[in-house]
Amino acid sequence: MMISTQLFAVLIVFVMHLSNAQFGLPKQKVGEVQVDADGTVGENMAGVSLALVNLLSKAEKEAGGALKLSQKDVLAIDGLIKHAVEDPETKILIQKMKVMQRDVIEETIGETTPLKIINNLKAVLEELMALEILFEDKDRAFRAMEKDGMIDKKRIPEYRKNPGLLEEDTRRSLYFSFISMAVVGR
């Protein structure tokens, strides 16, 4: 599966700024969740990164206070982002992206709003979770994806022989899409 240059650019931008912190912020309300200055969100959201909290605050303002994101969604998004930041392969990828896709990243940042970023992060998260169900029967998943035209025609024979590879590639592609969007969010 081919990943667009724009999504690749998104990854770099978010991770570049994960280490930047802001202190002394007043408490803010994000949807139905209380946001504290230390970057935590509500009692059940301890440890959510300040970068994500800031993005959520901006998205909520853009949505006019009607941001539809559960605590479970916030924790899942934050967990995936933290995993990516700690993953050595993702770090290398991000460094390469910073050099090779700099212009695309800057252009994407200028065109994307916080609400779009949050909505896209949630959509990709939901797709990642749906993979668990879809690939319970790998052969059936292959047939369904082939029927829907979701598989590159050049790779059909390979995936037909090894539907597990299709699952791996699909998961990697969605993970990359998620991380790319997270990068733009930074």
Pair 130, 113: CB distance under 8 Å:
no
Pair 41, 35: CB distance under 8 Å:
yes
The structure's pTM equals 0.69
Question: Which two three-digit tokens encode residue 91?
Answer: 């770090």
Give the DSSP H/E element, type plus range, for residue 90: helix 88-100
Q: How far is CA 66 from CA 30, 56, 93, 155, in A?
A: 9, 11, 35, 42
Question: Which two three-digit tokens encode residue 71?
Answer: 């605590």
The amino acid at residue 18 is L
Task: Please state, in angstroms and rounded to a whole number, the distance separating the CA atoms of residues 166 and 145.
Answer: 10
Q: What is the pLDDT of residues 22-35, one digit of tens each?
A: 322 333 444 444 44
pLDDT attached to residue 150: 93
Q: What is the pLDDT of residues 148-163, one digit of tens each?
A: 999 999 999 999 999 9
Pair 54, 22: CB distance under 8 Å:
yes
Q: State which residues of the chain have pLDDT below 70.
A: 1-46, 98, 183-186
Q: 3-state class of 29 per DSSP?
A: strand
Task: Please state, in angstroms and rounded to a whole number, the distance separating the CA atoms of residues 130 and 108.
Answer: 27
pLDDT attached to residue 19: 32
Furthest-apart CA atoms within the chain: distance in Å: 57
